[in-house]
Structure 1
Amino acid sequence: MKKLFAILFVLVFLGALGGSGYLLYRRAHKPPVVYRVETPVRTTILKKAVATGAVVPRQEVAIKPQVSGILDQLEVEPGTLVKAGDLVARVRVVPNMVSLNAAQSRVERARIALDQATADHTRYQALWAEGTVSQAQYQLFEIALRNATEELAAARDNLDIVERGTTGRLASAANTLVRATVSGMILEVPVEIGRSVIEANTFNDGTTIATVADMDDMIFKGRVDESEVGKIRPGMHLLVRIGAIEAAVFDATLEHIAPKGVEESGAIQFEIRAAVAPRPDLFLRANYSANADIVLDRRDDVLAIDESLLQFADGEPFVEVEVGEQRFERRPVRLGLSDGIRVEIVSGLDEGARIKQPNTDLTAVNGAGGGGRRAG
């Protein structure tokens, strides 16, 4: 029994001795560490605020009829280019029975008056020719005949207007012809032939026949957060990116900042408008969703590094620059503009500097301990 315990004791002792030796060996032969290094680059740094919105025409004009009735004919469709005065549609008037009856009655009364004036004029003309009545008396009946003739013509025109909305003597100025009020492109025709339309009046806006806009004069209309609105001003440069047009960037100039904000989802937003410069190779459609980068500041072709390479001591920035194989020294740097990812280096570094990445995982030269690697 005592012999068995002795053997177990020896085995335990040898095991402990071997484990200690292995640990000491690993410590004595700990693999060296390698830090990743990066070099500065020359680039353009933009400090910007982002606005979301859409690209829309500066002005959209709704074309409405001047009379109520039935849409009888459409001369345009979305995409049609028109000039001011071009015919857009025709409206067929549905006569009001009371007005129609009054107009017909006026025509009959004017015809009766003309017949009487014609008879009086014929009689007095013969008397004037015989010398029985003076020329002054005769002229009174001549004027009465002319007035009766004009009244009958006016009554007939009034009947035509009630029945058809126009008259032969005023065909070019007929209210039933709906014409474009501005030049541009037809964006929308929200009505169809046969639909009843209403003229604009004091009580309603009337039926929109079509909308017209100048597609060469587009603006970006969007909103910016209250935290950014104090940093922008009219005249600033914008870079507008259209979601539906990949890789296309449009230049724009900020024109207007709303003096009053509105609350959206718990945040105060301010509306902005910017004139978008057209591009001959791309057609901008109305209401394209877009994002605009408002350039607050810009540095072109400057030396910059990733902000992750910066370290701070007592609030002062510095980097560690490689001076030998995995040997680094601290160098203070003077910083310039930052876009949140890269920062401008005003002084303290040159283009060939190899900067230690302080957040690099420690890595054994022989690959033990992780997936870090050295980069130049």
Structure 2
Amino acid sequence: MKLLVTGGCGFIGSAVVRLAIARGHAVINLDALTYAACPDNVAEVAEDPGYAFEHADIRDRVALDRIFEAHTPDAVMHLAAESHVDRSIDGPGTFIETNITGTYQLLEAARAFWVRHGKPEDFRFHHISTDEVFGTLGAEGQFTEDTRYDPRSPYSASKAASDHLVRAWNETYGLPVILSNCSNNYGPFHFPEKLVPVIILNALDEKPLPIYGDGSNVRDWLYVEDHADALLLVLEKGKLGRSYNIGGENERSNLELVRTICAILDEKRPRDEGSYADLIEFVADRPGHDARYAIDPERIREELGWRPSVTVEEGLARTVDWYLMNEGWWRALQDRDGVGARLGVRP
């Protein structure tokens, strides 16, 4: 297929681009190159004859129309989004503009292209979203595709709105769409403002390892390369109009996760004295911090035969190895806006 991937220089988007090219698909990478984007994420495929890059913003309808007509994609994989909860607390407007207005403009451009070309039956619009749209869980239970939406942050609210837009364009206009909602991703090329890279990089620099609150918040952790594999499978074999929850089947509290990373670093790059866990520091919690996320993966497992390939311990070991071997990549990002600063503290 020829895939139009939005946000393909970001963390998850670049994993999709690399895997799609490796599997013989052609890819048009549409990215606005905002603060979290990094062209080096796709450097290994940049010279591939099946790869093309378009520097554009998904809010720019004129640019979108030009790109659709120039490349005539078979499918859209929409990953471009503002995604950092802490930044959404400090500046929600950017999340509204990109995640909601941007998705609207992309849907309209895709619909116009689809109609102009005779509504081809094999066209697909795959919208990639998050489990955070479902809100928070107690100690028991899991999110299913039928869980009621209950977003608690500006980020998750903007993603919930984009999900609703995609479903509405399917119901009202017949645009052939598929949705997926994933759990927390981690792995290579993770921009250094999220929990896993923050812990790894702070540890390597002998800085405090910040954990919000008491570290009891639970997430389901999904290795990014497993996620990319699942996304391509959903695009190719998922049922139109349907959504699929994609999880790692690896629930861990934030404190457990950080202690696991510390143990891996203790083995791979020991400190002169003590454990990296000695650097753990509990800090003021994030406003509205959801207690627990957990995904029920039954639908994607039963309908498409997909399960994650690695445990969180295996995936974290791979991730630590990657950061140890790619210091040049992450050092170059340390001076970008907000990196290393505490964000999301406004009540």
Is the structural similarity TM-score above 0.5?
A: no
Q: Give the TM-score taking structure 2 as reference length.
A: 0.18
**Structure with higher helix content:** 2
**Structure with higher strand content:** 1
Q: Which structure is richer in relative contact order (CA contacts within 8 A, separation 6 or more)? A: 1
